Amino acid sequence: MKLILLTQVFATLFMVGLIWFVQIVHYPLYANVGREQFPEYEALHNRMTTWVVGPAMLVELVTAVMLLKYSPNASSMLAWMGLGLLIVIWGSTAALSVPAHDVLTAGFAEGAYRKLVNTNWIRTVAWTARGVILMVITYRSLGTD
């Protein structure tokens, strides 16, 4: 159980830090990329980002499901809440972020860019909440003094 929990904590907190960086720094900088270079920039972003976030998101998903089985009874509801947030994150990624990136691959489009930045808050808040939930589960798993 401890290895599962620690692996999930690592993957989730990695994604919490990354999503805040993306939301506050990376996506806002999109507006400053030259329009002629933008399609190439976006294609590189998509390819390179997949190698960074893909493994972490998969590890997070697998350990979230495993945690349902191995979480202490007092944290069972929190584990379910964490998985629910992960479903929101994956759903938002598939339904909102990926389509916006697909549009941007053809060139900078203000509407797709605004949609990407604005709807990314869903993932940012959900990942942050997951981080808090995992900190509570971790604290509870440490036992009492």
pLDDT digits (tens, 9 = 90+) for 47-104: 999 999 999 999 999 999 999 988 767 789 999 999 999 999 999 999 999 999 999 9
67 neighbors 8 (Cβ within 8 angstroms): yes
Which tokens is 108 given? Answer: 């900078």
Cα distance between residue 89 and residue 106, in whole Å? 25
Mean pLDDT, the chain, rounded, equals 94
Can you give the pLDDT at residue 145?
Answer: 52
Cα distance between residue 110 and residue 3, in whole Å? 44
Residue 6 pLDDT more than 60? yes
Can you give the pLDDT at residue 35?
Answer: 93
Please, what is the Cα angle at 61 between 137 and 88, to 5 degrees?
85
Cα distance between residue 121 and residue 82, in whole Å? 17
Can you give the pLDDT at residue 10?
Answer: 97
Cα distance between residue 7 and residue 1, in whole Å? 10
Can you give the pLDDT at residue 73?
Answer: 72
Average pLDDT over residues 17-38: 96
16 neighbors 128 (Cβ within 8 angstroms): yes
Q: Is 106 exposed, middle or buried (0-12, 13-18, 19+ CB in 10 A)?
A: exposed
**Nearest in space to 30 (alpha carbons), one of 102, 126, 122, 112:** 112
Q: How many CB atoms lie within 10 A of CB 121?
A: 12
% of the chain beyond a pLDDT of 90? 88
71 neighbors 90 (Cβ within 8 angstroms): no
pTM value is: 0.93
Residue 1 pLDDT more than 90? no
